[in-house]
Structure 1
């Protein structure tokens, strides 16, 4: 378990949110899967809704117009202490700005970009809102990995902008996987090269106590899910919510100590 009370170091996945066409259905689904409670925002802020675990912010849901939005996905925001400067660096390295830097009341500042491999991500400079207040525990964000058809471009971009070191992974033979580590050595995610993927995108992995139970809860709440399977780092399953947004859940294998 990690409690976060201050802005994360540069490049750390610090916040996640999801646009959905039906807020009530989304709250019912994610409440069933993760046990979240919800703080629905006022109309003037688009009913931007905080997802809470033991009263701490772990994600957000934002209602969007179903007539203009046809695809839904979890957005990941990487931390920065200067959103203008980091956005400019991203642009200089070939990223496409989708939303220019903007201040969100007293909460912080953000921008949205598409990296040179085609994956969308956000930047977040926290003020009153630092991002996820709980991570690395059941019901909260565990990690984000970028799956891309162009891992060479992605590795060059993220290592240059954020100072990440790139380490291979011999424990996954046959998988084009690179760890992303901050200059302090902390692992913040990874890049997976996959020529078969339809489009480059950042994925979101939530920790759960029991992957099979999360699968059953998702299916019972109107989503779909693959059966959970064991891999080296835990028991995981891919889940699709009622709107088509996908995410992964993972639980430690029985008898395996968490690092």
Structure 2
């Protein structure tokens, strides 16, 4: 969600090489972000009176959105909007977990989400950053039937659905130099992290964490000109998309 779709398209188009399928006026020009004609993300116009800042959001696919909205409430979360129909695309609800991180629920009809993942220019990972990792871990595990597994040496849990790793929970300690509230962080795969960061600054973005090497690849944290944050990573070992 961004206050200026035209500026957002210019930034991300220049950064990731995205092309855009812009919706009609009745959708407030909602824009599908595409690589080689396939959807990798979406952009919507943020209402001026919206209580949330510009941000990337993560949506969990569900088969019965009303039942999952009830589960969110049952386990201490909040449903702030919906469930509601989005024309013939699907049904939507927007929620927050007990630690304050916002996320969406999506029940597909005509729209089935990202058609490419784990490739340059597409999403490759999502994690919730919170100061109460245990509470967030237990919430997402209970609501979505996921199995949490703790990583050695850090307060980080991966969330598993059968053989698939679907997301992460990272407990921040307040020492990262930010007082940011709990939030979901989306990662986009890139071919060259340093070149992407340089390009982001040329396009008006800001570097929040400079490129660093990790066991999973070279990554950095960036904010777009409107302030929405995201991470970029050159994967050490490209993940296998579905």
Paired position in structure 1 for 2:158: 179
Give the 3-state SS of the residue equivalent to 2:57 in structure 1. Answer: strand
SS at match of 1:63: coil
Give the corresponding residue for 2:199: 217
Residue in structure 1 matched with residue 219 of structure 2 by the alignment = 236
Q: Which of the numbers 20, 24, 32 marks the counterpart of 2:6?
A: 24
Match of 2:71 in 1: 89
For 1:257 and 1:47, how far apart are their aligned partners in 2? 33
Return the TM-score normalized by structure 1: 0.87
> Any idea what the Cα deviations from partners look like across 1:172-226, whole Å, max 9, x if unmatched?
x2x20001001x1210011011131531111000000110111011111111124
* Comparing 154-163 and 193-202, the one that deviates more: 193-202
- Tell me what 1:11 maps to: none
Secondary structure of the residue aligned to 2:8 is helix
Q: Report how many residues are paired.
A: 235
Indicate the residue corresponding to 1:195 in structure 2.
173
The runs of 5 or more residues in structure 1 that have no matched partner are: 1-18
Cα deviation for residue 164 of structure 1 reads 0.8
Matches of 1:241 and 1:97, distance apart in 2: 27
- Once residues 234 and 211 of structure 2 are traced to their aligned partners in structure 1, the CA distance between those partners, rounded to angstroms, is 10
1:69–1:97 distance in 2 versus 1, CA, 3 Å: closer
The answer as to whether partners of 2:56 and 2:228 remain within 8 angstroms in 1 is yes
Q: CA deviation at 1:68?
A: 5.2
Q: Quickly say closer, same or farther: Cα 1:75–1:81, change in 2 above 3 A.
A: same
Where has structure 1 moved over 6 Å in runs of 4 or more? none
TM-score w.r.t. the length of structure 2 is 0.92
SS of the residue corresponding to residue 155 of structure 1 reads helix
Counterparts of 1:139-158 in structure 2, within 5 Å, are 139-158=121-140
Hey, what's the Cα distance between the residues in 1 that align with 2:235 and 2:134? 31
Deviations 1:211-259 (A, max 9, x none): 0111011111111124311111100011110001110000034xx5757
Task: Give structure 2 stretches of 5+ with no counterpart.
Answer: none
Q: What does the per-residue CA deviation read over 1:30-62, in whole Å, with 9 as the maximum and x for residues that have no partner?
A: 011111001111111111111111111111111
> 1:68-79 counterparts in 2 under 5 A?
71-79=53-61
Sort the Cα spacing of 1:167 and 1:46 in 2 relative to 1 into closer, same or farther, 3 A. Answer: same
Query: Is 1:248 aligned with 2:227?
Result: no
**Contact 2:118–2:239 (Cα < 8 Å) also in 1:** no
Q: Distance in 2 between matches of 1:60 and 1:143?
A: 16
2:151 maps to which of 169, 177, 182:
169
